[in-house]
Amino acid sequence: MKTFLKELEEHQQTLAALANEAEVIEQAGDLLVKTLKRGGKILLCGNGGSAADCQHIAAELVVRYEQERQALAAIALTTDTSILTAHANDIGFDSVFARQIFGLGTDKDCLIAISTSGKSPNVLMAAEAAKQQGMVTIGLTGGSGGKLKGLADIAVVVPSHVTARIQEAHILIGHWWCGLVERSLNADVA
C-alpha cells in the first residue's frame, strides 16, 4: 500500500521537474496579461478534473485571487449544463467546446485548453476552433503533451504520466497565473 509520504515524494518530484517549464509558464502568464489588457477574454476548457480546474481558475479571475480589484473577463466553457447537454445530445460531445468558441471567441481572446494527456478530442477541437477564430491558445497538459502540444501556441507540459500529479501541477500553475494577472493589472491602475 502506498503511504502518504510516498505520495508526497512523488508530488515533490513532479514539482521539482516542473522548474524546467518555468520559462514557458511565465510566457503563458504574460500572454494572459496581454489578453486582458487589450480587452480580450480568457476562455477555458477541459474534462473531469480539468473542467474543475477551468472553473477554479475562471472564478479566481472573475472574483479575485488575493487582491480586491475589478472583475476580469474569464469564462469556463464547462459550466452551462443546458449548452453542454443539448450539444452532446443533438450534435455530439467532441465539438461541445468548439461550438462555444465559435459563439464567444474573438481574435482578442485567449483559450486555456487543459487535458492531462493532451489527447481529449473535444479539447483538441476547441484548440482548432480557437485558431480559426484568430485566438491564441495555451495548452496545459502532461506526459508527452499529446496532440495538444502541437496545436497550442504555448504548451505547458507537466513532466509526469500520473494524472493526479499533473492535475496538482496544473492548479499550481493556474494559481500562479492568477497572481501574475492580478499583480500586473493592479500595478497599471496604481
Average pLDDT of the residues in 130-152 = 98
Cα–Cα dist 75/104, whole Å: 10
Structural domain of 174: 4-189
pLDDT at 157 over 80: yes
What is the pLDDT confidence band of residue 96, given thresholds at 50, 70 and 90? very high
Average pLDDT of the residues in 109-134 = 99
pTM to 2 decimal places: 0.96
Q: Which residues contact 32 (CB under 8 A, 6 or more apart)?
A: 42, 110, 112, 138, 177, 180, 181
pLDDT at 188: 67
Per the CB < 8 A criterion, the answer to whether 29 and 172 are in contact is no
pLDDT at 189: 55
- Share of residues in the chain with pLDDT > 70 (%): 98
CATH number of the domain at 131, please: 3.40.50.10490
Helix then strand then coil, % of the chain, to nearest 5: 60, 15, 30
Average pLDDT of the residues in 57-84 = 97
- Specify the number of domains making up the chain: 1
pLDDT at 43 over 80: yes
